[in-house]
Structure formats: structure tokens, C-alpha cells
Amino acid sequence: MSRLLWIACACLAMMIISLTVGFRQIAPAVYFDVLNTYDPTDPAHVTLASIRLPRLAAGLIAGAALGVAGTVMQAITRNPLADPGILGVNAGAAFFLLLGTTILGRADEAIVATLAFPGAALASAAVFALGGGLRGDVGPVRLTLAGAALNALLLSLVTGIVLVRQDSLDVFRFWVAGSLTQATTRPLLEMAMVACAGGLLALAVAPQIEALSHGKEMSRGLGTRPGRVQAAALLIVTMTTGAAVAVAGPLAFLGLMVPPLARLLVGHRMRAELVAAALLGATILLGADTLGRLLLAPSEIRAGVMTALLGGPVFLWLARRIRPGATT
């Protein structure tokens, strides 16, 4: 329990750093002024309220959601390489979102953002089925390759749409990399609620997921119904990944590196793991975003690029350790 407290402290510290670091220096007193008397003519106030706070919120939502999504995916598929980015779930959500933007125009961000959910649901169901999930043997190599194929297909379609529309490469650059810079235009409150609901559902079915992660036979013996748990897991992954993509775009590798780290810190207890993964996900994403803002200031490196640079080596390290042929 005390470990969880430490992680929470780290997350809080990262939140404060993320708020204070940036191109514009802001005096500590101003933070309290914003809370008491918000002055829309003061540039420092505006920077805080309309740039840094939404950014912080988006980072918290996307980071925590992807941490939970990764943990659930890795447990249910028994695949240490499972990650919404690598398995194409992010790309599915992004594809539907972009399709919506293209067809509907960008009239209503909130309505368009809800398209991320059917996209994430279809992609995660597809990759699970294609990777051998229906027959109950999702080997890591299989699932990862199926994910890579799905990812390539969806990204080709995304590229196609963007190039046909011609209107902005910048939209594409944003959608491919994932970023917190457009947080102000995102439906933060709605997505926070969806992500929280997904997280709570994950906590509720955590024991069943844990049972299933020991294998189907074992879980039946423990009185769990694998079909139902898998359906719940699909729902959780859809809600969390959809919310994350809607606020921050397709961030890869975060869901990959957070779960092993969480397990290392709090041990094999699903509920504690989920809480730790949510906190760690938010901390790492905010850290990556802050670092990306500092490295090349005044321009910035997108958070998605930073998480990929951090997560790529983790992927390689894990890939080396997998014994092909084994299902765990």
C-alpha cells in the first residue's frame, strides 16, 4: 500500500512540474490568483487556464487510460507485448475519428470524438480474433504480427484520407504522433468520465481477469466464465483507449511499458496493479510531454514521439526474452 502512495506522490509532483514548466515563466503567486480571481486580460492567467490546465487534464486522462488499457490487454492475452498502439486499437480509433472529421466536418468535436469508441472496439475485436483469440490460444508472436498488419492497414487508410482531403498535413502529423497540444479543443470532461467508468469497471472485474490470466482451464476451475470476462475486458479496452485517442491521439508504447513497471512496484495483485498503472501512465505521459516541451524549446517534440522513443527499447528488451512457441 505504501508503494502506491509513493507512486501517487510522484504523479502529483509530475503534475506540478508539468504546470510550472513552459515557455512562459509564471510566478508562484499567480497560481493562487487564478483560483481566486481569474483575470482574462492577464496573459499569465490565460496561459494557465486555457493552455496548461487543459494540457494537464488531457495528460492525466490519456496516461491513466492507456495504463489501464495496457494492463488489461496484457493480462487477458498473456502477451507482454500487448499495447493499444502496437495492436492497432489506437489506429482503429484514430481512423474512425478522422473519417468522422472528414465526413461531418469539424463542427462538433464532442460528437466526432465519440467515433473513437466504435473504432477502438472494432479494432480490438478484430485483432483478438485474427490473433487466434477465438480458438483460445493467443500467442505473443501471432498477436503482435496481427496487430502490426492491422496497424499498417489502418494507417494506410488514414494516409489515404488525409492526402485525398489535401487540407492539412498538420492534422495527420498530429494524428500519427499523438500529442497533448490540442487539448483545449478536445472534449475533456466527457472523455474523463468515460475513462473513469472504464477504470472502475476494470477494478470491478480485476479478480476475474486475474483468474483468466492463469489460463482458461484454471479460470473455469475457479468459477469464472471466460467469455464474459473477455467481453468485459473488450469493453474496458474500448472505453479507455477510445477516451485516450479522443483527447491525445494515438499514443504508442505507453500501454506497453507501464504494466511491467507497475507489477515491479506493487507485485502481482491485479487491483493494485491497475491503480499503479493508471498513476504511472499519467506520470510518464506528463513527464514525456514536459520533456518534449523543454528539449527543443521554443518548438516542441510531441508526447507521442517521446513515449515511442522511451517505449521502443522496452519493446526490444521484452521481445528478446519471449520464447517462441510458448503461449505465455
Partner 1 sequence: MRAALLLPLLLLVATVTALMSGQASIGLPLLWEGLVTGEGPGALMLDTIRGPRVATAIGAGGVLGLSGFIFQTLFRNPLASPDILGFTPGAGLAIVAAITFHLNVPMPLVSAAGGIAAALLVALLAIRRGHETPPLTLILVGLGVGFFSSAFSTFVMTVLPHSEAAEAQRWLTGSLAARDWGHVAQVWWPGLLLVLLAIAQARNLAGLELGNDLASGLGLRTETVLWLLAVTGVLLAATGVAVAGPVPFVALMAGPLGIRITGARTHTSRMLAAAGTGALVLTLADLAARTALPGIVLPAGVMTGILGAPYLLWRLSREMEKGTL
> What single-letter DSSP state applies at residue 328?
-
Size of the site for partner 1 (CB under 8 A): 48
Which set of grid coordinates corresponds to residue 119? 473504432
At residue 156's C-alpha, the angle toward residues 119 and 198, to 5°, is: 20
Select the residue interacting with partner 1 from 139, 199, 249, 281 (CB under 8 A).
Answer: 139
Select the residue interacting with partner 1 from 14, 81, 120, 279 (CB under 8 A).
Answer: 81
- Cβ proximity to partner 1: between 259 and 304 the closer is 304
153 sits near partner 1 (criterion: CB under 8 A): yes
Name which of 150, 154, 94, 153 is nearest 127 in CA terms.
Answer: 150
Question: How far does the chain reach from its first CA to its final CA, in angstroms?
Answer: 28
Query: Minimum Å distance from CB 84 to partner 1?
Result: 14
52 sits near partner 1 (criterion: CB under 8 A): no
122 sits near partner 1 (criterion: CB under 8 A): no
Q: How far is CA 68 from CA 147, 210, 243, 294, 320, in A?
A: 19, 14, 12, 28, 24
324 sits near partner 1 (criterion: CB under 8 A): yes
Select the residue interacting with partner 1 from 8, 148, 197, 291 (CB under 8 A).
Answer: 148
Query: Minimum Å distance from CB 166 to partner 1?
Result: 9
- Cβ proximity to partner 1: between 51 and 157 the closer is 157
- Cβ proximity to partner 1: between 215 and 312 the closer is 312
Residue 49's Cβ-side half-sphere holds a number of Cα atoms within 13 Å equal to: 16
216-224: Cβ within 8 A, 24+ apart: 216/136
Select the residue interacting with partner 1 from 141, 196, 261, 291 (CB under 8 A).
Answer: 141
Select the residue interacting with partner 1 from 159, 189, 222, 264 (CB under 8 A).
Answer: 159
Query: Minimum Å distance from CB 199 to partner 1?
Result: 27
Select the residue interacting with partner 1 from 144, 208, 219, 230 (CB under 8 A).
Answer: 144
Sequential DSSP letters for 244-306: HHHHH----SHHHHHHHHHHHHH-S-HHHHHHHHHHHHHHHHHHHHHHHHHHTTTS---HHHH
Round to whole Å and give the CA distance between 34 and 42.
Answer: 10
- Cα 197 to the chain's mean position, in Å? 15
169 sits near partner 1 (criterion: CB under 8 A): yes
Round to whole Å and give the CA distance between 315 and 263.
Answer: 16
Query: Minimum Å distance from CB 128 to partner 1?
Result: 13
Phi-psi region of 217 (alpha: psi -120 to 50; beta: other; left: phi over 0): alpha
12 sits near partner 1 (criterion: CB under 8 A): no
Q: How far is CA 254 from CA 196, 298, 305, in A?
A: 18, 25, 11
Select the residue interacting with partner 1 from 164, 223, 227, 268 (CB under 8 A).
Answer: 164
Query: Minimum Å distance from CB 240 to partner 1?
Result: 21
Binding residues for partner 1 (CB under 8 A): 81, 86, 130, 132, 139-142, 144-146, 148-150, 152-153, 155-157, 159-160, 163-164, 169-170, 172-173, 176-177, 252-253, 296, 299, 301-302, 304-305, 308-309, 312-313, 315-316, 319-320, 322, 324-325
